[in-house]
Structure 1
Amino acid sequence: MHKIPDCLINPSHQVTVALIGCGGTGSHAIGHLGAIDTCLKTLGHPGIMVYAYDPDLITEANKGRQRFSGADIGLNKAITLISRINRIQGSSWEGIPEYFTKDTHVPCNIYLSCVDNVKSRITISKIIKDKRDNHHFEPYKKPYYWMDFGNLKDTGQVIIGTLSKIEQPKSKKYRFIEKLPIITEMFDLTQIDEKDTGPSCSAMEALTKQNLFINPSLATLGCDLLWQMLSTGMTDKAGLFLNLKSMNVNPINI
């Protein structure tokens, strides 16, 4: 079992979340984050503050698989999604129409990466670790978790790990684990063939490369794991593997 830090369960501030990538998975995840924010507030929690990163403009090819319409074409993905969610729930989340870099990085408690290539994941890991190791953070900026979403055509995974050791309670009932591996520690990403990942240039090509519902399915399952962590204060899962072709979801037990 892994216990979530008290400063995220009973905080005096909003829990800060960085959403990196607002395409196939990220555009679906942001709506789920809105639901998490609303429901946490119902429980007396301050909720979450989201910073969404994506430099891309919306194109015709993004309709259908991503949460955009024809009226959105030509607009920035991050700004469009954040503006929409802010209007719906009266929040003040921030859309950042740029890549996630050491210069655009806003330190957050939780990072969600919804990117489509290995290079981006390695870059994200380096940026977060460098900032973590070289700064003293206020509670609302201290990095605790990184959740990564990744997929191929019919399969995908969600991996959540800790960005440092998190002090755990002593218990006779559970064996608490203070460190969960992040995606770059669990797998050797340099061994993954980049040709199996990456964006598609047309809607037809995208549908031949990826199942229509692989991205929203992963977004739902990953955000449910995040909700369970923030609402219950503990987790015995460090992620999951999804196979839509066989309709199987296999948890990654701690």
Structure 2
Amino acid sequence: MDTDKTKMHFTDNYLINPTNPITVNLIGAGGTGSKVLTALMEMNHSLVELGHAGLSVRLWDDDIVTSANLGRQRFAECETGLYKSVALINRANRFMGTNWKAETVKFEKNTLGKLPKSAEATLYISCVDSVQSRFDIADILSLQNNHRLHRDAPKYWLDFGNSQHTGQVILSTIGIIKQPNSEKYETVAGLPLVTEEFGELLKQSEGQDDTPSCSLAEALEKQELFINSALAQMGCSLLWGLFRYGMTQYRGFFLNLKDFRSQPIPLA
């Protein structure tokens, strides 16, 4: 008889029963980030309707909306020339009545080598287009792991990444998440950072062209039209499960949109 228990990660209790809205740093407001923000709007409204405190999102991006962004990213022609983060957050706040914040700078350490107070959060979501940005975020989160006693102590990092036809979403814990005793499941307290588990693969892809596109046609040569939205919906479904069901047996997935294949990543 097979007596192996299913591996399961139980959500940190503060995400399920918070005293205040869960603080979220969304890093990147481009093709994926702009669509993740829409999903977070829907998630926030649903959580509040269920009696939860909801989400408090801060969107980080220093890029300006250009004509190449129209169509593939969630921007209108009248928003060209504006900061992406400001355009998206203003629209979200008007639409949902929230008080979310926009940052028009890169998510990075200050001149003292520390993270600004405004950048502290419980949940980090990265939608960046460079390998170095992921390692920089991992470095920042490693520092944050030493400050886990305050209200906005860091708990999770959800990273979105993609190429032209394929992509992946990886969930990591920032440190160890205390797990309940379980007779039914084998609990998993720590999920490795994407840079720890897939660091070599990330470095191998470092030479890929990530320069800005001058037109939508050029942008579509680098990323297919619906790869970002497909990743955003599936990745936010994983996040929703943490809130709604309080557990997950998967820590992400790989997606190939060209032949419509997805491969879940079970807990190790």
Q: Name the CA distance, whole Å, in 2 between partners of 1:197 and 1:78.
A: 20
Q: CA offset at residue 7 of structure 1?
A: 1.0
Q: CA offset at residue 229 of structure 1?
A: 0.7
Aligned match of 1:172 in 168, 176, 183?
A: 183
Contact in 1 for aligned 2:130/2:206 (Cα 8 Å):
no
Q: CA offset at residue 231 of structure 1?
A: 1.1
1:14-25 map, 5 Å: 14-25=21-32
Q: TM-score, normalised by structure 1?
A: 0.96
Contact in 2 for aligned 1:116/1:198 (Cα 8 Å):
no
Aligned match of 1:213 in 200, 223, 226?
A: 226
Q: CA offset at residue 181 of structure 1?
A: 1.3
Secondary structure (helix, strand or coil) at the match of 1:194 reads coil
Q: CA offset at residue 203 of structure 1?
A: 1.1
1:155-166 map, 5 Å: 155-166=166-177
Q: Name the CA distance, whole Å, in 2 between partners of 1:136 and 1:224.
A: 26
- For 1:118, the equivalent position in structure 2 comes to 131
Q: CA offset at residue 111 of structure 1?
A: 0.5
Contact in 2 for aligned 1:152/1:196 (Cα 8 Å):
no
Q: How many residues align?
A: 252
Aligned match of 2:153 in 128, 142, 150?
A: 142
Contact in 2 for aligned 1:51/1:94 (Cα 8 Å):
yes
| Gap regions ≥5 residues in structure 1 | none
Q: Name the CA distance, whole Å, in 2 between partners of 1:250 and 1:198.
A: 29
Q: CA offset at residue 191 of structure 1?
A: 2.8
Identity over aligned residues, as a percent?
A: 45
Equivalent residue letter for 1:168: Q
1:77-88 map, 5 Å: 77-88=84-95
- For 1:43, the equivalent position in structure 2 comes to 50
Q: Name the CA distance, whole Å, in 2 between partners of 1:75 and 1:185.
A: 36
Q: Deviations over 1:51-80 (max 9, x none)?
A: 000001100000000000100000000011
Q: CA offset at residue 101 of structure 1?
A: 1.1
Contact in 2 for aligned 1:154/1:243 (Cα 8 Å):
yes
Q: CA offset at residue 185 of structure 1?
A: 1.2
Q: Deviations over 1:175-210 (max 9, x none)?
A: 010001121111123232332545433211111121
Instruction: Rate the CA distance shift 1:136–1:150 in 2: closer, same or farther, 3 A.
Output: closer
Q: Deviations over 1:139-168 (max 9, x none)?
A: 2x1101101000011000000110101111
Q: CA offset at residue 172 of structure 1?
A: 1.0
1:74 maps to 2:81 = yes
Contact in 2 for aligned 1:79/1:97 (Cα 8 Å):
yes
Equivalent residue letter for 1:153: Q
Q: Deviations over 1:199-231 (max 9, x none)?
A: 433211111121100001101111111011111
Aligned match of 1:193 in 206, 213, 229?
A: 206
1:53 maps to 2:53 = no
Contact in 1 for aligned 2:62/2:106 (Cα 8 Å):
yes
Q: Name the CA distance, whole Å, in 1 between partners of 2:211 and 2:252.
A: 22
Aligned match of 2:97 in 90, 93, 98?
A: 90
| Gap regions ≥5 residues in structure 2 | 1-7, 111-115
Q: CA offset at residue 128 of structure 1?
A: 1.7
Q: Name the CA distance, whole Å, in 2 between partners of 1:5 and 1:49.
A: 17
Contact in 1 for aligned 2:22/2:55 (Cα 8 Å):
yes
1:100 maps to 2:107 = yes
Q: Name the CA distance, whole Å, in 2 between partners of 1:247 and 1:195.
A: 23
